[in-house]
Amino acid sequence: MSNPALTATTFRAVGRAESADAAMTLNGTLVKTGILTLLLVVAGAVGWQAVRADDGLWVPMFLGGCLGGLAVALLTVFVPRLAPWTAPLYAALEGLALGVLSAVTEGLFGGIVFQAVALTVGVLGVMLLLYLTRVIRPTRRFAITVVSATGAVCLFYLAALVLALFGVGVSFINEMLYGNGELGIGFSLLIVGLAALNLILDFGLIEAGVAAGAPRYMEWYGAFSLLVTLVWLYLEILRLLAKLRSR
């Protein structure tokens, strides 16, 4: 569940822009982030309405959004130059899947989606403030720790998925992922915190890209990377709230 879109070599690999006018800017990245977020919300509303209408379209919407979003995200990571086209497509596809999932969860726990969105925005604001005031800095040691922990979580999720596909149930893993006891809630809190710390890495690497004079299309790539982390953060907060509400 880590964000592979931004790594230490991302901006070095694409080189510098041909001129200052063609270089990546922080304001440009913020504008692109806003555009992608708007696309995500609009597509999410479509997925939400499909569930409410109960016309059967929400199932292919969810599957198409998940699988299509994953494919487009991987394409963007491996070919950053395509980000001006693939990033908006990713936002739309991911929005469909999130809209469906959110509507289903809202049906189980009324008001949970508003809480999850508010908390996601709140965490984003807090982490941005901590970054701007340099309370938390993306130092090399910080980056290694966060990336290593995120990689470990990713492997854990992958192992749980493989075991589930083969019909192997491990009570300890199931309790961590889905349980509403102390273990399950503690695990979700840990993952939410880890996702929040990944935002610090995103901020730092985007700033580094601007300083390095990366090409203008990397604004879309930077916005895409932030959206990946925000989607992960929202999903983990939604999972945490569902656990708390089911107690």
Digit-coded pLDDT (tens) for 170-225: 788 888 888 899 999 999 999 999 999 999 999 998 998 898 888 999 999 999 99
* pTM to 2 decimal places: 0.91
Name the residue with tokens 């790539």.
221
User: What phi and psi, each to the nearest 5 degrees, are found at residue 110?
Assistant: -60, 130
- The pLDDT tens digits for 118-162 are 999 999 999 999 999 999 998 889 989 999 999 999 899 888 888
> Band of the pLDDT at 11, cuts 50, 70, 90?
low
> Band of the pLDDT at 15, cuts 50, 70, 90?
low
Mean pLDDT, the chain, whole residue set = 91
Token code pair at residue 146: 């966060």
Cross-strand pairs, 215: 23
**Alpha-carbon span 230 to 12, nearest angstrom:** 24
E strand segments, 173-242: none
Token code pair at residue 144: 């290694």
**Alpha-carbon span 103 to 215, nearest angstrom:** 39
User: What phi and psi, each to the nearest 5 degrees, are found at residue 125?
Assistant: -65, -45
For residue 181, give the DSSP letter. S
**Alpha-carbon span 215 to 17, nearest angstrom:** 4
Q: Is pLDDT above 70 for 9?
A: no
Q: Is pLDDT above 70 for 7?
A: no
CA-wise closest residue to 44 among 25, 58, 23: 58
- The pLDDT tens digits for 80-107 are 999 999 999 999 999 999 999 999 999 9
- The arithmetic mean of pLDDT across residues 228-234, rounded, is 97
Q: Is pLDDT above 90 for 20?
A: no
